[in-house]
Structures are given as C-alpha cells and as structure tokens.
C-alpha cells in the first residue's frame, strides 16, 4: 500500500513523503493510515527509524490524531496528593519512597489531605490524584476511608486515585478479593484509577528492576476488574531504562488487547525514565540501565503509541513533568492531544531528578497549545470538555496568579521530608499518624 492514491488522506504532503521513504516503513505507515492495527513487530521497525523515516512516523501519528480527535488539545486542572512516601517495596527506579526507619519518611493525616483537596478546589481543580507509597502494616481500608472522608467534604471533586499496586495492597491487608476492594473504593467515591505501576508489563524485566512489585497478571486483574465494574483507568508505560524495543511494543499491544475487551482506558501516557536519583541507576543496582531515552526516542514512542492505539484509545498524553514544556509542545505534533494536569504538587518525578517544577498554570498550557497551532481546552478527568478557548479567550485562572512562590503556597516534597509535623511513625509506636480520627486503622 505504498501507492499515493491508496492513502485515504487529504494530506498531499504526507502522501509525497511516504512515497519517498523506505518501502517497508511506508507499508506499515500506510496500513495504519488505512485504519488497520499494526503489530508489535511493525512498531519495533518504526522504533528503529531515523532520518526521513523518523519524520514520516511523526507525520502519520499527527494525521491519525487529527482524524480521531481533531485540533483540540486538552489539559485538566488537578492536584497531586502523594500522602506518604513510606513504602515496604524497593522498586529500583523509585527515588520517592523511604523505608519506615528513614528520617525522611512522612505521612499526611486525613485532615491535611482534605485541606489540600479543598485548597485545590478553591483554585479551580476538578480532580485530585491520590497515590502514595505502601506504608507497613497499613489498615486495609485506609484508601476507602480516605476517599469517604474527602467525598464527604468535596462531593463534586473527582478522585483519581490508588494505583493497581495500592489496590492490591489494600485488598491483601483487608483479606478480601481485588474485586471486593474495588467495589469498596467505587462505593466510597473513587472516580477512576491511575494506570500506573505498569512500567513495562514483562515479568522477566519486572523481576529484574523491581522484584516483589505487582506482577503482570495481578496488574491485569486489577485493571480489567476495575473496567468491568465501570471504573475507568488511565494506562502508562515507563521507557528508556532497560527494556528492549520489543518489550516496549508488546507492552503497548497488551494494553490495546485489554482495551479491545473492556474499553476502560481513558488515555495512554508514555513516561520517560528519569534516571539521576533512581537507585537502580545511581547505585548501579541493575545492570545495563540507561540514563533515560534519547530525544528522538521520546518523539517516536509518543508517535508510535498513537499509531498503535489510535483505533482503541483516542487520547495520548505527554507528561510535562517528565518531558518539560518544550518537548511536550513538540509532542503535540507527534500524535499527542493532551498535556495532563496542573499537578500543583509533583513529588515522584521531582524526587527522581526531574527538573520541570511542580505546577503548570492553565495559561501556560493554553500558550503552549496555541503556539503549536492547536486549540486549547480544559477537560474533566473523563475527557469531557469543560471549556474550549478560542483565540480571543484569555482568561486569568486563580492558578495563573500564583507567582514563583509555588512552594511557599502549596508546600513541596523537599519541605515535606524535612518537616517533623508529618513524620511517619511506625504503627507499633504509640503515636501513629495513619488516620487521626481512627487510630484502629493500624494493624500492628
């Protein structure tokens, strides 16, 4: 299908490009333009492109994005609340977590989590993203109780919370099934789950970089059960560390297969590995770990994600936390239609060494999107549009008025790990901070 007339596109420049590149690459790209799914092996071939073939991958991804979601590019006003960094696991890529014996362990009590959620609401947030470490001997229903507490104060705030790893931990600590735990979360008011703790869904690789982490089968069970119960989730990949292109492509194809059965993924978010503070890189804990993806790989992975998933998951998100605002803007030309959230507090990537700050103001999103020739819109978590901004719309949101003193207003991870006020205390201590209104949350 390399004939120009076979390409069902109004994009003559694209037809010309595809006629002038390597035949095998052009064949794959034309198949995608014909609306067909490409295979993991096809994706590997695209991941190996350079030069004009590399550019053609981006151009096809951009064309598919245009056909599927048009020119609107979205963002959501949200706040991250990573309520504890204390964790029983030791994932090799994680610089956020602390052992409970370490001085820097913190645990936010419920009232502080609610205060942060209320503050976010007042600043225009429609979503809070709640994820954290796995504190030792946690009361099993902590996540459910926390959700109920937040919802009782802020019934209209969307709670995007609790990764598959946390759902699994909650169910184990509660001695109930994953399904029963998810029903509890849904009844409490959780609106969607982050599709994190996926990294690369290849068991051999997971055993190498994060032994003891949620398995591929368990991750799939949490996600498919959530979808079955009507709880949507996002989907992610962490790339640029130690995976092969084949593992990366097969990961995305696995997500596509799940989506074809459940339809429960709202978006796909490629996440570049941030190396500088990651233990497996810094301390050489795992052999052959790279220092993150190259710039061209970042572009290719986003573009190929669009090409692989376009028939199934309409939204491809760029993470400004991982990629920075300049690369994220460029990714809008490579299949991306969403730039994620304002975040307000970003801890996990920052602790791993990401340098892009903890807040992206709505006006900054709108500017990035307009400069890329696209139409900015604020969305809700489920991708319903809250407001589209045409050229004459220049609103000033409350978050736009926040100056450089972001950390003074909203706090930061750096401050949290230094504060005695929220110091984690092990459940066997008399002064647990797990849930101040219910000390019985702690199972000793």
Task: List residues near ligand SF4 by CB under 6 A.
Answer: 87, 89-91, 94, 96-97, 133-134, 165
Nearest approach in angstroms of CB 178 to ligand SF4 is 17
Q: Closest CB to ligand SF4 among 97 and 310?
A: 97
Q: In what order do the strands lie in the sheet with 158-161?
A: 78-81, 127-130, 158-161, 190-192
For the chain, the residue count is: 444
* Strand bridging mode 375-379 / 385-388: antiparallel
Q: Closest CB to ligand SF4 among 96 and 413?
A: 96
What is the CA 55 to chain-centroid distance, rounded? 26
Nearest approach in angstroms of CB 198 to ligand SF4 is 11
Phi, psi (degrees; rounded to nearest 5) at 69: -125, 0
Q: Enumerate residues 6+ apart whose C-beta is below 8 A from 415.
A: 407
With contact defined as beta carbons under 8 Å apart, do 193 and 215 qualify? Answer: no
How many helices, marked H, and strands, marked E, lie in the chain?
A: 18, 10
Q: Closest CB to ligand SF4 among 73 and 214?
A: 214
Nearest approach in angstroms of CB 390 to ligand SF4 is 41
Q: Closest CB to ligand SF4 among 97 and 337?
A: 97
Nearest approach in angstroms of CB 96 to ligand SF4 is 5
- Joined together, the tokens standing for residue 31 give 């198949």
With contact defined as beta carbons under 8 Å apart, do 315 and 337 qualify? Answer: yes
Q: Closest CB to ligand SF4 among 239 and 245?
A: 239
- Tell me whether residue 421 is exposed, middle or buried, using C-beta atoms within 10 angstroms of its C-beta: 0 to 12, 13 to 18, 19 or more: exposed
Residue 416 DSSP SS3: helix
Nearest approach in angstroms of CB 213 to ligand SF4 is 6
Task: Tell me 95's DSSP state.
Answer: S
Q: Closest CB to ligand SF4 among 134 and 299?
A: 134
Nearest approach in angstroms of CB 343 to ligand SF4 is 17
Q: Closest CB to ligand SF4 among 91 and 417?
A: 91
- Tell me whether residue 288 is exposed, middle or buried, using C-beta atoms within 10 angstroms of its C-beta: 0 to 12, 13 to 18, 19 or more: exposed
Nearest approach in angstroms of CB 199 to ligand SF4 is 9
């Amino acid at each position: 299908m390399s004939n120009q007339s076979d390409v069902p596109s109004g994009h003559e420049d694209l037809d010309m490009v595809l006629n002038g590149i390597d035949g095998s690459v052009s064949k794959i790209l034309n198949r995608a333009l014909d609306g067909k799914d490409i295979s993991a092996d096809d994706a590997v071939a695209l991941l190996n492109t350079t030069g004009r073939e590399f550019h053609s991958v981006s151009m096809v991804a951009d064309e598919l994005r245009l056909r599927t979601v048009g020119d609107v590019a979205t963002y959501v006003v949200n706040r991250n609340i990573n309520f504890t960094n204390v964790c029983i696991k030791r994932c090799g890529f994680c610089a956020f977590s602390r052992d409970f014996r370490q001085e820097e362990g913190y645990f936010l009590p419920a009232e502080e989590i609610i205060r942060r959620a209320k503050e976010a609401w007042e600043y225009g947030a429609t979503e809070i993203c709640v994820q954290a470490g796995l504190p030792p001997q946690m009361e099993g229903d902590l996540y459910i109780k926390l959700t109920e507490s937040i919802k009782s104060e802020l019934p209209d705030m969307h709670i995007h919370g609790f990764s598959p790893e946390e759902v699994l931990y909650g169910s184990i600590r509660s001695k109930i099934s994953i399904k029963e735990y998810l029903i509890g979360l849904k009844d409490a008011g959780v609106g969607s789950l982050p599709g994190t703790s996926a990294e690369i869904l290849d068991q051999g690789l997971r055993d190498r970089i994060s032994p003891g982490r949620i398995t591929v089968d368990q991750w799939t069970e949490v996600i498919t059960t959530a979808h079955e119960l009507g709880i949507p989730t996002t989907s992610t990949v962490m790339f640029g560390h130690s995976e092969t292109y084949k593992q990366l492509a097969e990961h995305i194809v696995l997500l596509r297969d799940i989506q074809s059965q459940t339809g429960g993924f709202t978006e796909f978010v490629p996440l570049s590995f941030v190396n500088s503070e990651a233990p497996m890189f810094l301390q050489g804990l795992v052999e052959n770990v790279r220092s993150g993806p190259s710039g061209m790989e970042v572009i290719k992975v986003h573009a190929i994600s669009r090409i692989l998933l376009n028939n199934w998951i309409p939204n491809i998100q760029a993470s400004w936390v991982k990629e920075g605002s300049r690369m994220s803007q460029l990714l809008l030309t490579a299949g991306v239609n969403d730039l994620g959230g304002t975040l307000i507090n970003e801890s996990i990537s920052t602790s791993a060494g990401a340098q892009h700050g903890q807040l992206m103001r709505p006006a900054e999103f709108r500017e990035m999107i307009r400069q890329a020739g696209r139409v900015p819109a604020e969305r809700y978590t489920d991708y319903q549009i809250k407001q589209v901004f045409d050229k004459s719309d220049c609103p000033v949101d409350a978050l736009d008025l926040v100056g450089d003193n972001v950390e003074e207003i909203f706090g930061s991870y750096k401050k949290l790990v230094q504060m005695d006020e929220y110091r984690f205390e092990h459940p066997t201590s008399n002064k647990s901070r797990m849930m101040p209104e219910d000390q019985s949350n702690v199972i000793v």
